[in-house]
Amino acid sequence: MAKNWLKYNKWTSFYLLWVCGITIVFSFFVLDLDDRHDLIVYNTLFVILLTCFCLLIKGKIGGIVLVLFSVFALVPAFIEAGWFLIDKSVLIRTQFWVIFDTNPAEARGFLSMIQLWQWALLFCYMIICCSLLVLACRERKKKETCCNHSKTISFIGCLLSMSLVLIPGVRYNVPCINFYNSYRGYYADVQRARNFMLSRQDLSGQVMNNFQDSVATVVVIIGESLNKNHCSLYGYCRQTTPLLDKREDIRIYRNVESPSFMTQEVLQQVLTFANRANPEARWNSPTLPELLNAAGWHTYWFDPFEGKNNTANSQPTGFSSIAKLCTTYHLCDDSEQFDGALLCHLDTILDDTSSSRKAIFFHLIGNHFPYESRYPQNFNFFSSNDICSAFVNQLSSKQKCVINAYDDAVRYNDWVIDSVLNRLCRVQHSCAMLYFSDHGEEIYDYDFYAGRSFNHITRSLYEIPCIFWQNKVYEKSNPLYIDCSVDYCTEDMIHSLLDLFAVSYVQQDTCHSLFRKNSP
């Protein structure tokens, strides 16, 4: 009996375990996974039930079931395997949602970090998957007669499969279910965002502009992936911000943190009244560009170089759909590969006298991986082994090159910010600038990896630089409270930005402004 079972079912069992049991195996190798127990339990339950279901259906029907299952399961399994090889973590919960909302350029940057041996392992994994599937289908055909109750079993199996989807633990922990469940949530948000963009209201009369001067320029620079602990401005041992270090006209906020380490999440909160406690405000409140437009500011938004056919066609769930509500929206192209190209746009705007009040937003590509692609060759500066890392004795030469490239990108970012300030210093009317990064990046500081990880959370992912500058005219026209030691999270940044532009709106909470004395 056991011999017959093994003869007709061994390859099917191996195949299902290889495809669906991968998460169980991976979870044992992740040291800091809090819900490892749930992950193992739900995935084991899923593998057992799926295997029993497939083994009960014999013959050609069983082969068809295996093929249909493979169509839906192999893509999530491939992504799960790739993610583990790169990040040494397991994709859980809504992390698949992030994959759907990642733009092509960011995806290319992420894929560029995959090494050749990792691609080779992924290729081998898929070859084994396909080989086991072929063997399992052949195994199904060997049994000429189907089970007498195959239709009944198929119907029960379908009901069982549907019931599995209804179990939250299975829905969020089994990759081949979580993948499509996350996509369903993502698609619903896309439709919701489209309706949101189509139902914009006229805010005239609801917004008050309190700025005293009729002519003003305010620049907001949003950095990318800059960890403040890699800035000499914040005590880093390398001179990564030599130009800003010398400036005496800037105010340096020491304790500012990001609410997330994903750009989309952070900027949606910066540009709307949404925060972690009230994410629904993303859909039912006006956005920052709309408020500024209604207050009489001419708003400009410049997005970084992302390659062709990227954020221009992005889904409306991203922050770019909000940014496009600005009066002028510019998506940088191939000729503007580095952030320094934005300086020409700044010069043009400053020389333009057609607009009296200008709100300029520069979203930099900053320190986004791959780091070596974020600065011109003449900014190659760090090439020695004077690495500032707790893991300095464990780092390979390649890993040291990663740190050097990141620090070079920080040094180039320093030049860009300093160049903006030098231009603004020549402006005679009210002028101010606020710089902060969207989130940080782990660079072998608190954990032995470079980048960002869902399951390897460190302080580096959240600790960001924040710099403020104002000229004397602005300081007199719009006096702000400055306390550089205040603890602040950028999820409340919209309240600070409204103060920066001297705009009042009913939903504004002055208790959460960086420029108010009662800021938390």
Beta bridge partners of 466: 253, 436
Are the C-beta atoms of 360 and 349 separated by less than 8 Å?
yes
State how far the Cα of 339 lies from the Cα of 219, in Å rounded to an integer. Answer: 15
State how far the Cα of 61 lies from the Cα of 59, in Å rounded to an integer. Answer: 6
State how far the Cα of 46 lies from the Cα of 49, in Å rounded to an integer. Answer: 5
**pLDDT tens figures, 207-226:** 888 888 889 999 999 999 99
Bigger pLDDT: 176 or 371?
371
Q: Which residues, at least 6 apart from 83, have a Cβ–Cβ distance to it below 8 Å?
A: 89, 90, 91
State how far the Cα of 226 lies from the Cα of 220, in Å rounded to an integer. Answer: 16
Residue 418 pLDDT > 80, yes or no? yes
Are the C-beta atoms of 385 and 400 separated by less than 8 Å?
yes
**pLDDT tens figures, 270-305:** 999 999 888 888 888 889 999 999 999 999 999 886
- Number of other CB atoms surrounding residue 426 within 10 Å: 9
Look at strands 216-223 and 450-451 and give their pairing.
Answer: unpaired
Residue 85 pLDDT > 50, yes or no? yes
* DSSP states along 359-374: EEEEE--TTPSSGGGS
3-state secondary structure (DSSP) of residue 416: helix
Which run of H or of E encompasses 216? strand 216-223
- Name the residue among 241, 244, 288 with its Cα closest to residue 269: 288
Residue 308 pLDDT > 50, yes or no? no
Residue 231 pLDDT > 70, yes or no? yes
3-state secondary structure (DSSP) of residue 207: coil
Residue 378 pLDDT > 60, yes or no? yes
Residue 448 DSSP code: S
Residue 461 pLDDT > 90, yes or no? yes
State how far the Cα of 253 lies from the Cα of 482, in Å rounded to an integer. Answer: 9
**pLDDT tens figures, 99-141:** 776 766 666 666 766 778 888 888 898 999 999 888 888 877 7
State how far the Cα of 342 lies from the Cα of 363, in Å rounded to an integer. Answer: 10
pLDDT of 97: 66
Residue 178 pLDDT > 70, yes or no? yes
Look at strands 430-437 and 466-470 and give their pairing.
Answer: antiparallel
- Name the residue among 250, 226, 299 with its Cα closest to residue 424: 250
Residue 145 structure tokens: 């007669």
Beta bridge partners of 221: 362, 435
Could you tell me the maximum CA-CA distance found in the chain, to the nearest angstrom? 92
Residue 416 pLDDT > 90, yes or no? yes
